[in-house]
């Protein structure tokens, strides 16, 4: 995701997509992942 700093994209098979970002550290040494959008290519219209 070039236009959304800190937001990352995950791709699986030919159409599966998800966007995610790291959340604030809740447990020392563990940084959670915040899932933003999960679906097909259509989710990539925005972060």
| 33: nearest Cα among 44, 45, 18 | 18
pTM for this model (two decimals): 0.69
CA-angle at 4, arms to 25 and 26, nearest 5°: 5
pLDDT in tens, 1-47: 567 789 999 899 888 999 999 999 999 999 999 999 888 877 666 55
Which pLDDT does position 25 carry in this prediction? 94
Are the CB atoms for 41 and 13 separated by under 8 Å? no
Which pLDDT does position 46 carry in this prediction? 59
Which pLDDT does position 41 carry in this prediction? 74
Which pLDDT does position 1 carry in this prediction? 53
């Amino acid at each position: 995701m070039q236009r959304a700093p800190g937001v990352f994209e995950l791709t699986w098979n030919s159409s599966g997509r998800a966007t995610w970002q790291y959340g604030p550290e809740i447990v020392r040494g563990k940084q959670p992942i915040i899932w933003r959008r999960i679906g097909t290519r259509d989710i990539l219209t925005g972060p």
